[in-house]
Amino acid sequence: APALVGTLAILVMCRVARRLTRSTLLGCVAGLLLSLDGLEFVLSRTGILDIFLMFFVLAAFGALVVDRDVSRNRLAEAVVLERSDRAGPGLGIRKWRVAAGIFIGLACATKQYGFWYILAFVGLCVAWDMGARRTAGLRDYVRGALVRDGKWLPVTLGVIPLVTYIATWSGWLVTSTGYDRNYAH
């Protein structure tokens, strides 16, 4: 399983770098550099959880990058079609942010260190939303990012990762046969 996830991480890295830079060459170079990285190589061949944490965090970041691109297009169309006020329209719950929430929940279920990435991703989402609204020509882009789109961040990067975390540990939580479940007895 670690070798498979390590290989998939290289492909995800290629796609994320390709989407970030809009260059196939740079995407392939990023994948090549990850495949030659010593830590990635070792983690892909050992039975520790860090490779899974890295994969799920990378997949969550990739989903946020896709959300950034898709939501910028939706925002540009919405601003042109219906000019509401200076903050612009709200985009609602976004499916790629839901996917990012699921992936980061899986990262947290793998190792609790994944929680810190939630905080970083919230900051990144707010910054990208402010930048998109500013680029779209909205004057009150901070309020638009924090109030119109930011109100869904506790759901997509708070509740969804928590539900995913609890769902992955449900077998241990509801049974009495989980590993180290009755160690105090």
Q: What is the distance between the alpha carbons of residues 8 and 33, in angstroms, rounded to a whole number?
A: 14
Whole-number CA gyration radius for the chain: 19
Query: What is the pLDDT at residue 182?
Result: 75
Token pair in block for residue 29: 């170079």
Q: What is the distance between the alpha carbons of residues 101 and 91, in angstroms, rounded to a whole number?
A: 17
Nearest in space to 100 (alpha carbons), one of 129, 149, 67: 67
Query: Are the CB atoms for 23 and 14 separated by under 8 Å?
Result: no
Query: What is the pLDDT at residue 75?
Result: 83
Query: Are the CB atoms for 105 and 160 separated by under 8 Å?
Result: yes
| Residue 49 DSSP one-character state | T
Q: What is the distance between the alpha carbons of residues 150 and 99, in angstroms, rounded to a whole number?
A: 17
- Sequential pLDDT tens for the chain (185 residues): 889 999 999 999 999 999 999 999 999 999 999 999 888 888 888 878 889 999 999 999 999 999 999 988 888 887 777 666 777 777 888 999 999 999 999 999 999 888 999 999 999 999 998 888 888 878 788 887 888 888 889 999 999 999 999 999 888 888 877 777 777 77
